[in-house]
Amino acid sequence: MSNIVIINGPNLNLLGIREKGIYGDRDFLTYFETLRQSYGDVMLTYFQSNHEGAIIDKIHEVGFSADGIVLNAGAYTHTSLAIADAIAAVTAPVVEVHISNVYSRESFRHHSYLAKNCKGVICGFGLDGYRLAVESLLAK
């Protein structure tokens, strides 16, 4: 059974409440439950933290045993060399996801420190981006 871990970073605990015009009105846990049900043969787990170090700890914890990590690091995408190094350190492939199309937004969102260490980047497809990332990890 494949083991895929979804990690969400800062402020993504407020999906469904936060800036609905950008991020939509669905909360992540409801979406995650639907995703989990549609992948009955995949061990899908979810972790969210607003803290950079906790995200790094989680990447270390699962990054040598999971088959893949889906990571939306939120604003840390644009700032965190430490998360970039954590991705490089582990063996599991990481797919970077953004709900919004970061390229249609402020220029400071156009750069990712993480992307070069990731298998790929999916952005602009709303919450469906997480499903697309899972598909890409299952396809290997």
| CA 45 to centroid of chain Cα atoms | 12
Residue 74 as a binder of ligand DQA (CB under 6 A): the answer is yes
Partners of 3 in beta bridges: 43
What x/- string results for residues 109 through 128 when contact with ligand DQA is judged by CB under 6 A? x-------------------
The residue among 122, 128, 57, 117 whose CA lies nearest residue 92 is 117
Q: Which of 102, 122, 133, 137 binds ligand DQA (CB under 6 A)?
A: 102
Q: How far apart are CA 71 and CA 47, in angstroms?
A: 10
Q: What are the φ/ψ torsions at residue 79 (nearest 5 degrees)?
A: -135, -20
Looking at the Cβ atoms of 48 and 100, the one nearer to ligand DQA is 100
Out of 31, 46, 98, 113, the active site residue is 98
Q: Which of 14, 17, 43, 75 binds ligand DQA (CB under 6 A)?
A: 75
**Residues in region 10-29 near ligand DQA by CB under 6 A:** 11
130 a catalytic residue: no
